[in-house]
Structures are given as C-alpha cells and as structure tokens.
Structure 1
Amino acid sequence: MSIDLLNREVAPATVMKPAASLLPADVFGRIGSMETRLARNSQEIQAAQSIRYRVFVEEMGATLSPEAMDLKRDFDIYDDFCDHLLVVDTALTGEPEEQIVGTYRLLRQEVALANGGFYSASEYEIAPLLARHPSKQFMELGRSCVLPHYRTKRTVELLWQGNWAYALRHGIHAMFGCASFPGTSPESHALALSFLHHSVGAKGEWAVSAREELFNTMDLMPQEAINAKHALMSMPPLIKGYLRLGAMVGNGAVVDQAFNTTDVLIVLPIESISGRYINYYGADAGRFGG
C-alpha cells in the first residue's frame, strides 16, 4: 500500500450540518439493500451485542464475564447510554434484528460526562485532552465489528457514512477510541507500532498517553529501520482505515488481557479528515443519502 495516504489535506475547521435526506431520520445512508442507521430498540442492541460476541469471543478469543459468556452477548454498562450504529442488510429474511451485519458504539462527550466518563479512560489519560479543548465536542468510537461475510468495501463505507453523518448531526469536533492489534504481545507488532509512534503520533494539543500503570512503549524500532509499506501491510484494516482518514495515534500501547488484544488510541479531529474523504462522503454527509 502506498504511504501517500498519510499526505493529509486539511479540511475547513468547521462543523457542518447534514443535508436533507430522502431517507428516514435515523437512517444515515443506503447502498442497495444495505443501510446504516441507529439501533431502534433493545432487541436490536442485543442483536448487535451478539455480533460483538461472535467476533470478539468466537473469532478473536476474548474472555467476558460469566453472564456474558452464558448469554453469548458482549455487553457492559456503557451499552445502556451509548448510541449503537448498525449496518443492516434488508435483503436478509427475518426480523430487523436478524438483518444486522455490523456495528459501532458511539458515545458523545455530553453523554459520557453525565454517566461517569468515557470507556477509553480506563486505558488512556483522556481528561487532559478534553481539558485542552474546552470549546470542542468529542465523540468516542468503540466496539467496531462486522460479520466475516460482510467485511467488504461497501460495509466499511456505510459504517463511515454513519459515523460522519452522526458527527455532523451532533456538532462533533473530534473522534477518538481504542483500536486493536490481535494478541497480548506488543513486541509481536513492533514494526507497526513503531511506525505509528514515529510517523503519526499525536502531538501538542492532541497529545494523549496511556495510563502509567498500563503503558507499553510503541518505540520498539528505530525510525530508520522501518519500512513504511511493510508496516502498513501488517496493520489491521480498521487502523489503516483510520490513518487514511487522517488520524493520529496516542503514546503507548495497552494490553487488554480480557479481549486478547493490544490497543492503541486513535485521535481524529474533524479538521484533519483528508479532503478527498470529505469530498467522497459529502461535506453534508449526503453521499449515500438515497
């Protein structure tokens, strides 16, 4: 993969409003039989949790609470107040909750602060980042997963269409969240982590670090020893997708034993999103607006 994805164009530093859509108010985009929207009821949230279980536990080897393992659903207290973005394939037979093929969990700053904080704060020092931007609204992205058969360009486009439209609707200035490498050995991802540390580390007003007791250095190789193309090829698709958009990465990796992952913190100011992606999805989020 070419490293020109890191040559970011800076979009205007404004928060725009989504354009009028031909779709229902809670549907953010549609491609063929597939659409992206928010979960409408507890049954759909539980269905999203079941998909998370299938991906995180059955595929990636996570170990959840006994109750979650028994119910075969990944859930925690954050699910009660987060919004749940879905990708739904309406061509599938059955009830709406049986048509869900992908999900993201969205947590706005005002909601987080009213309910005890952000999930990412359990791994990263989020408070100083927020304090440096008192006039900005942040949104946490988490629990991203897609069923194997639907891991296609179309599904990824719909997830990002949903994130973008939701961010515009709520006046969000920056997104952040943990993204994961498989396994609990940072050293096994030395090339990728070192590339992230040297090339796209969040600096200055966007700097954020792993909690001291959880900190694992990402500086595992000297910069001159890093082959950027090979480093990008070794990264999970989600992290490469964030980089294409213009994301930065916090300092330090965190090992999550329960989820069998090595986490990094993604920081994505709206003003840093690559201009070509703004143009593709539409400055008003109207790209897949029906």
Structure 2
Amino acid sequence: MNEAIQEVGRYRVRVSQTARDLRAAQRLRQLAFHGDDTTLDVDAYDPHCRHYLIEDVANGRLVCVFRMLPLNGGADIDRSYSAQFYELDALKTYPGRMVEMGRFCMHPEVHDADVLRIAWGAMTSYVDENNVELLFGCASFEGTDTSSYLDSFAMLRDRHLAPNRWLPRVKAPNVFRFASRLRRKPNLKAAQLSMPPMLRSYLLMGGWVSDHAVVDQKMNTLHVFTGVEVKAIPAARKRLLRALAC
C-alpha cells in the first residue's frame, strides 16, 4: 500500500501524515488501553514508527490504529518495544529485515471483523513492499489474571512455541511461565474463544510465541512475544492476505 488513502468497503486506511493524525491515534490508544480519552497514550517509540489509521468512511470516525517499527535485521532488535520485556539475543542473528507491529487497538464500541482484515491487508502491503522477512510484536490478553486464559496458554504451549533457535528468554520481573508450569490439557474450543483476535491471526499464519507471558501492570495486559516468519506463511493464507492488500 502506498501513502495515499485506500478505501475498502465502509472503511479507509491511511498512514499518519501530521501531528494531528498522531495525536488522534494516541487518543484512541488511551481510550482502548486505559479507558479514557482525556489524555494521550505516548511513548518514546512513536517518533520512529509509521502509524496507520483506519476510519469509517461515512463519518470519519477513527476506529482502529497500529504502528510499524522497521528494523534492518536482528542486530537492531534491541531498538524494539518488545526488547523492554523479553531477552531477544537469539534473534540478533536473524539475517532478514524485520518489522515490529505494535499498539494495535480498536475503538471499544467497534466490533467489526472487517477492521482486522483491513489492518492485515495494510500490514501485508508493508511487508511485501519492504521485503520484510519477520513480523513480530507483543500479542496481548486483556487483564492480568492468568486464570481466565489457561486453556489458551496450554494450547500455545502444545502447538505454537517458538523454535529454540529464536526463543525469547525471560527479562521482565513478573512473568507467567506457562510452558514449564502449566500442566493442564487444553480445551481447544475454550482456548480459541479466549484467544485475542490479533493473536489468532498470527497463529493462522504459522506464528510462534514465547514460552512465557509478561504480566504488564501498566497496560493491564498479559502479553506473549509473537513472531511470524513470512516465508513460512501457508500459501493459501498468503493469497488471502494479498487479496486484502489490493
């Protein structure tokens, strides 16, 4: 996708061009993550990212935002937002270009699956146009109560752990080591129902996760490091994503 506005159905997606655009994105993030829009959700990574805004064509309402932080390769991994929470030395040898997708959120009153599809279309365009080989980020569960997501974590343990050569290690002071400490067999239906939609999308593309979740009190989330190696995305899924990107 180029820098111009692109309309898909009832929505348009565009890249932030002005300080006003960025403030609008930060205000929606504040609402989605912290429950109010009287201030802005701002951090030190914003100036280095490309920010995407998805709006309702009919009324201009901002319904979804996310940002992309480009990295030339594994040697740059410590510049990422995720590196605050995970020890990522294993990925320092990753040879290809990377992008970290972060701060993804939708307006709390919007529950349209088309918004997520459009977001993935925009991300796919970015990945293709910039020859990205690894897409990664922190995939978040709402709240910090692990008991609500035990089936999901058990499924991640059994089916979706990162390869040992890329496995993130523990860095954050408060983590849930689900791979080593969780003993339950997952109820797969319950696991899917409680899995965050963004993480489900990563997993459908062959994504993998860290063996532990970070308990992030500031953001009121549990999150797992999640990576998708572009070359490993199933062919049918690639065709679908590229159709969304058109």
TM score, norm. by length of structure 2: 0.89
RMSD of the alignment, in Å? 2.5
RCO (CA 8 Å, sep 6+): is it higher in 1 or 2? 1
Structure 1 residue 126 corresponds to structure 2 residue 93: no
Q: CA deviation at 1:116?
A: 6.6
Distance in 2 (CA, whole Å) between partners of 1:188 and 1:139 is: 30
**Aligned ranges 1:133-148 → 2 under 5 Å:** 133=94, 135-148=95-108
Distance in 2 (CA, whole Å) between partners of 1:271 and 1:111 is: 15
**Aligned ranges 1:43-58 → 2 under 5 Å:** 43-58=20-35
In percent, how many aligned pairs have the same letter?
A: 26
**SS of equivalent residue, structure 1 residue 77:** coil
Q: CA deviation at 1:208?
A: 1.8
What is the aligned partner in structure 2 of residue 200 from structure 1?
160
Residues 148 and 214 (structure 1), Cα distance of their counterparts in 2 relative to 1, 3 Å cut: closer
Residues 281 and 101 (structure 1), Cα distance of their counterparts in 2 relative to 1, 3 Å cut: same
Q: CA deviation at 1:57?
A: 0.7
After superposition, the C-alpha distances for 1:42-85 in whole angstroms (9 at most, x for unaligned) are 110110001001111117xxxxxxxxx8x511011111111101
**Aligned ranges 1:59-78 → 2 under 5 Å:** 72-78=39-45
The partner residue of 1:218 within 149, 164, 178 is: 178
Equivalent AA in structure 2 for residue 31 of structure 1: V
Farther off after superposition, 239-248 or 263-272? 239-248
After superposition, the C-alpha distances for 1:114-141 in whole angstroms (9 at most, x for unaligned) are 897111001111232132x1x2111111
The partner residue of 1:102 within 50, 54, 64 is: 64
Distance in 2 (CA, whole Å) between partners of 1:255 and 1:35 is: 34
Equivalent AA in structure 1 for residue 64 of structure 2: G
Contact kept in structure 2, 1:31 and 1:288, CA below 8 Å: no
After superposition, the C-alpha distances for 1:262-286 in whole angstroms (9 at most, x for unaligned) are 111111111122322211132xxx5
Residues 115 and 261 (structure 1), Cα distance of their counterparts in 2 relative to 1, 3 Å cut: closer
Distance in 2 (CA, whole Å) between partners of 1:111 and 1:272 is: 18
Structure 1 residue 178 corresponds to structure 2 residue 138: yes
Distance in 2 (CA, whole Å) between partners of 1:214 and 1:278 is: 36
Residues 111 and 246 (structure 1), Cα distance of their counterparts in 2 relative to 1, 3 Å cut: closer
Residues 188 and 157 (structure 1), Cα distance of their counterparts in 2 relative to 1, 3 Å cut: closer
What is the aligned partner in structure 2 of residue 34 from structure 1?
11
Distance in 2 (CA, whole Å) between partners of 1:159 and 1:109 is: 20
Report the count of equivalent residues: 245
What is the aligned partner in structure 2 of residue 66 from structure 1?
none
Residues 172 and 191 (structure 1), Cα distance of their counterparts in 2 relative to 1, 3 Å cut: same
Structure 1 residue 159 corresponds to structure 2 residue 136: no
The partner residue of 1:89 within 56, 65, 69 is: 56
Q: CA deviation at 1:151?
A: 2.5
Distance in 2 (CA, whole Å) between partners of 1:77 and 1:157 is: 28
Q: CA deviation at 1:107?
A: 0.4
Larger radius of gyration: 1
The partner residue of 2:223 within 251, 257, 263 is: 263
**Aligned ranges 1:238-277 → 2 under 5 Å:** 238-277=198-237
Structure 1 unaligned segments of length 5 or more: list them.
Answer: 1-17, 19-24, 60-68, 94-98
**SS of equivalent residue, structure 1 residue 45:** helix
Distance in 1 (CA, whole Å) between partners of 2:116 and 2:144 is: 26
Distance in 1 (CA, whole Å) between partners of 2:8 and 2:26 is: 24
What is the aligned partner in structure 1 of residue 192 from structure 2?
232
Contact kept in structure 1, 2:78 and 2:88, CA below 8 Å: no
Residues 157 and 272 (structure 1), Cα distance of their counterparts in 2 relative to 1, 3 Å cut: same
Q: CA deviation at 1:245?
A: 2.1
Distance in 2 (CA, whole Å) between partners of 1:206 and 1:273 is: 17
Distance in 2 (CA, whole Å) between partners of 1:263 and 1:29 is: 31
Residues 155 and 42 (structure 1), Cα distance of their counterparts in 2 relative to 1, 3 Å cut: same
Structure 2 unaligned segments of length 5 or more: list them.
Answer: none
Contact kept in structure 1, 2:73 and 2:98, CA below 8 Å: no
The structure whose residues are more often strand, as a share, is 2
